[in-house]
Structure 1
Amino acid sequence: MAKWISVLPADELSAGMTKVLALDQIELLLINIAGEFFAIENRCSHDGGELNGGEICAAEITCPRHGARFNIKTGAVLSAPAFENIATYPVRIIDNEVQVFLHEK
């Protein structure tokens, strides 16, 4: 079932910071870029390694294992060795609570 899930107060994740979230058997990486929040699957499509700890520059994240790059806003793969996009999840702020929308399975 698709649903919005509150994950943390917005003021607990400062700009430039990330947080790993385990929600409904999905591990997400929540990212605050200049006060705007994004949620991506915390898994590189190249080999399944975690994206957490990867360098973030503007709206791109680089996999810390092999250097594949992804667009944080769209999930689009930007460089090899990955060739498949990663999943992204809508995020909203309601009454200072960060909420992530989980898709139906």
Structure 2
Amino acid sequence: MLDFEEIASVDDFKESDRLEVFIDDTPVLLLHVGEQYFAIEDVCTHDGQPLTDGCIEDGAIICPRHGARFDLQSGKALCMPATKPVRTFEVEVRDQKILARPQS
């Protein structure tokens, strides 16, 4: 299994609930929702556009272009027009540092 990679700091979330980062050259959207952090590939599987500005509702992100919804935990596509999941990453917080690695 791949090692965790430092991608951000808890302090980076003072102004926003999301950050755009890269993990192994993959664009990743890091989200702070309540007390949890989620990391998902920042690409809608329906049309390849970023999910960056999507609304967060009920544990899912909504693609701002066509309304596809993806579960933040599993990446599962929850409605049309998307049929394939987005890639997700395991997230840990250690000493105010946010670390992530691809889900196994």
Answer yes or no: is 1:66 the counterpart of 2:60: no
- Between the aligned partners of 1:59 and 1:14, the Cα distance in structure 2 is 21
- Between the aligned partners of 2:15 and 2:80, the Cα distance in structure 1 is 28
2:30 aligns to what?
A: 30
Give the structure-1-normalised TM-score.
0.90
Percentage identity across aligned positions?
A: 31
* 4-13 vs 80-89, greater mean Cα deviation: 4-13
- Between the aligned partners of 2:15 and 2:31, the Cα distance in structure 1 is 8
1:55 aligns to what?
A: 55
- Between the aligned partners of 1:35 and 1:50, the Cα distance in structure 2 is 24
Gaps of 5+ in 1: none
Alignment size in residue pairs: 104
1:101 aligns to what?
A: 101
Report the CA distance between 1:22 and its aligned residue.
1.8
2:45 aligns to what?
A: 45
Gaps of 5+ in 2: none
Report the CA distance between 1:57 and its aligned residue.
1.1
Amino acid at match of 1:40: I
- Between the aligned partners of 1:69 and 1:78, the Cα distance in structure 2 is 5
Which segments of structure 1 move beyond 4 Å, counting only runs of 4 or more? none
Amino acid at match of 1:37: Y
Answer yes or no: is 1:6 the counterpart of 2:20: no
Kept in 2: contact 1:9–1:98 (CA 8 A): yes
SS of 2:70's equivalent in the other structure is strand
1:89 aligns to what?
A: 89
